[in-house]
């Protein structure tokens, strides 16, 4: 009891000191605070709402309609042997790959709250179903910041290979625990049996399902917006504080490291977008930039992690498993980046962009919303095709075996 009270005391003391630091700096630097908050609000409204809202909305509808149960039946033969979770777990993972942070954590939490996956499965799933999306990695970072569209194999592949590796590693997590606590063994009634999952939609009108989906997705996007705005202010206050400048200057002189590099490392721990921008501006080789960028994208930063923890906190999912997996994801991404570089680029060099890339900076809110909605539909369509192919393939093999 005393040890627990001691931990709570130090934790509360740290929170109190951190809050005091930020309150004092907000009062001392009102202009910086307002500009940071404006930048975070603009990023949330202009980028995150049109990009993420369609995925959050349609995902909630699909869960309530029973699509995840159908997908679970289809992908069970593929998911279970590799990741030791039910087929339902494929949905958060695949949607996370398509849409990016923090959709995977949100969907995993939703499935757990609806008791569609066990606690053991949720803990395994949360470790690897939290990834960045290709639009951010390639569109924002590779093209927008590095001006190089030829980096797919060095940025996308390590990120998703590391996620798959995490899934396999965590398949051994609590392997002695049962993951089928709420599922009755079903007979194989053939292909039509898959669509029994639509029983969920029969119990409630479509209007109720749509209303519930709008409510949940809106709540989620507001929560994400709050974190984005808060961390935009936090990162600027930390980097502009005299204490941070003094510490980084001392470390820079002592270890003979660039001050800008140390500043990028601090930013990488806290907020991913600022970190990527700072790393892309460093005067170091492209390969070292890619290593740093890949680690920070996989790590996610405290901002992304707290967005995910906001959803995880509503369930009994182990937060420590999620946080530990972020560190392992970053380490595995570095390893795969180096391996791919050795096999593909060590002799030829990393291809660079010769001419400047034109990015449409005037893309409207509606255009981004339309493209995200289209991507959500296509993603669900291809996920369903993957499930059907998996079901037909394994059904044939099962019949041949019998």
Q: What six digits make up the tokens of 272? A: 């991913």
Residue keyed to tokens 């709250």? 113
Give the model's confidence band at 186: pLDDT under 50 very low, under 70 low, under 90 confident, else very high.
very low
Arithmetic mean of pLDDT, 1-8: 57
- Give this prediction's pTM: 0.86
Between 370 and 332, whose confidence is greater? 332
Arithmetic mean of pLDDT, 212-221: 88
Arithmetic mean of pLDDT, 178-185: 49
For CA atoms 142, 270, 130, 128, give the dihedral sign.
positive
User: How far apart are alpha carbons 126 and 55 in whole angstroms?
Assistant: 18
User: How far apart are alpha carbons 208 and 214 in whole angstroms?
Assistant: 10
Residue 110, Cα to own-chain centre: how many angstroms?
Answer: 15
Q: What six digits make up the tokens of 248? A: 């980084």
Give the model's confidence band at 182: pLDDT under 50 very low, under 70 low, under 90 confident, else very high.
very low
| Residue-wise pLDDT tens digits, 217-267 | 899 899 888 888 998 899 999 999 888 999 999 999 999 989 999 999 999
pLDDT the model gives residue 204: 65
* Confidence check: pLDDT of 188 > 50: no
């Amino acid at each position: 009891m005393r040890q627990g009270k001691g931990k709570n005391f130090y934790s509360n003391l740290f929170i109190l000191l951190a809050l005091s630091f930020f309150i004092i700096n907000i009062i001392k630097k009102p202009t910086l605070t307002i500009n940071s908050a404006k930048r975070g609000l603009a990023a949330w409204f202009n980028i995150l709402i049109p990009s993420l809202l369609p995925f959050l909305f349609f995902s909630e509808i699909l869960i309530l309609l029973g699509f995840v149960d159908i997908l679970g039946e289809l992908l069970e033969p593929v998911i279970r042997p590799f990741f030791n979770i039910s087929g339902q777990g494929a949905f958060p993972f695949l949607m996370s790959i398509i849409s990016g942070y923090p959709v995977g954590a949100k969907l995993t939490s939703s499935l757990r709250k609806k008791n569609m996956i066990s606690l053991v499965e949720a803990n395994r799933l949360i470790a690897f179903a939290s990834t960045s999306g290709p639009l951010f990695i390639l569109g924002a970072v590779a093209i927008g910041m590095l001006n190089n569209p030829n980096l797919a194999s060095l940025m996308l592949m390590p990120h998703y290979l590391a996620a798959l590796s995490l899934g396999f590693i965590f398949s051994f997590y609590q392997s002695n625990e049962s993951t089928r606590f709420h599922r009755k063994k079903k007979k194989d009634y053939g292909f039509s049996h898959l669509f029994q999952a639509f029983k969920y939609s029969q119990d409630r009108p479509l209007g109720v399902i749509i209303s519930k989906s709008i409510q949940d997705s809106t709540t989620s996007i507001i929560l994400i917006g709050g974190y984005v705005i808060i961390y935009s202010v936090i990162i600027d206050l930390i980097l502009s504080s005299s204490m941070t400048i003094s510490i980084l200057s001392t470390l820079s002189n002592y270890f003979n490291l660039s001050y800008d590099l140390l500043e990028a490392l601090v930013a990488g721990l806290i907020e991913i977008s600022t970190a990527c921008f700072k790393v892309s501006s460093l005067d170091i080789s492209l390969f070292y930039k890619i290593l740093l960028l890949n680690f920070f994208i996989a790590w996610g930063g405290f901002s992304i992690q707290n967005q995910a923890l906001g959803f995880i906190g509503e369930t009994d999912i182990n937060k420590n498993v999620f946080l530990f997996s972020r560190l392992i994801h970053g380490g595995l991404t570095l390893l795969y980046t180096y391996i791919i570089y050795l096999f593909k680029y060590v002799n030829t060099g990393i291809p660079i962009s010769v001419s400047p890339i034109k990015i449409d900076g005037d893309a409207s809110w509606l255009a981004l919303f339309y493209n995200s909605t289209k991507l959500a539909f296509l993603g669900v369509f291809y996920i369903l095709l993957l499930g059907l192919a998996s079901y037909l393939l394994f059904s044939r093999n099962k019949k041949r075996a019998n």
